Amino acid sequence: MKSNRQPHERHETILKQLEQDARVSVSQLAQALDVSEMTVRRDLEVMEQSGILQRVHGGAVTAQSLSYEPPFAMRSMRQVDAKQRIGKAAAAMIREGETLILDAGTTTIEIARSLKGRRNLRVLTLSLRIADLLADETELTLLLPGGVCRPGERSLVGSSAENALREFSFDTFFMTLGGISVDAGVTEYNQEDAAIKRAAFANSRRRIAVSDSSKLGKTAFARICSLEQLDILITDKQAPRDIVKAIRAAGVEVILA
């Protein structure tokens, strides 16, 4: 009997194997996933079309240097279940009448999905993907700050977007990140992303970071804020206990979804 894993679960397993070995073979993946080699080849084809990997004879290799920001398509296949739980937990914290900023990222997309059907909220998003999700929600007021769109990410950055954020005061900012650690604080891969997050951070009353546990203990290139400036971190139950303890000791409430 073959495995009944969903495609996103198989893709996540393939990604983990690529990150570990930089190269995977069709036969090894078929055995590890308990599926046919034809199924693996179809998975690799889909992942190649998204820019996640490159197919080679008998398997695939990673398409990205691991020292740079993984592409959106790759990140969207990681920790899918955890991000869905985080998204639901985050949306449950929002009360009717609030104003909020949704950062661009794969986890905030799950928050947006959980906000569909809600009423009387003003939502400014830095993501064109999230804007598309919420554009037809008649009970929500959707705002876009303008700025420059980052290809692939479809996030809004630049001085125009930063200036637009300074025109308002928001109740809650849900922020994604590249890494979070006690020493380095909250960091991001891209300088422009870090700058727009700092602008959103400065104009929000409550600052909530949302991240799956793979980002905990990691440091990316550009600094957003110190750990002590965060109010809440929502992550998943696989988060290392020692890191969670250290973050809580810094005064940040940690919610495990």
Per-residue confidence of the chain (257 residues) as pLDDT tens digits? Answer: 456 778 888 988 888 888 777 788 999 999 999 999 999 999 999 888 877 788 989 999 876 554 456 677 667 777 889 999 999 999 999 999 999 999 999 999 999 999 999 999 999 999 999 999 999 999 999 999 999 999 888 999 999 999 999 999 999 999 999 999 999 999 998 899 999 999 999 999 999 999 999 999 988 889 999 999 999 999 999 999 999 999 999 999 999 99
For 246, which DSSP code? H
What residues pair up with 100 in beta bridges, in sequence order? 123, 172
Q: Is 200 buried (19+), middle (13-18) or exposed (0-12) by CB count in 10 A?
A: buried
Asked whether residue 52 falls in the same domain as residue 120, the answer is no
Residue 194 lies in a domain: yes
Asked whether residue 191 falls in the same domain as residue 87, the answer is yes
Give the whole-angstrom CA distance, residue 108 versus residue 215.
Answer: 15
Asked whether residue 243 falls in the same domain as residue 167, the answer is yes
pTM of the model: 0.76
Asked whether residue 84 falls in the same domain as residue 42, the answer is no
Domain that holds residue 26: 7-67
From 140, 226, 126, select the one nearest 176 (Cα to Cα). 126
Residue 126 lies in a domain: yes
* Domain at 51, CATH number: 1.10.10.10
Asked whether residue 20 falls in the same domain as residue 146, the answer is no
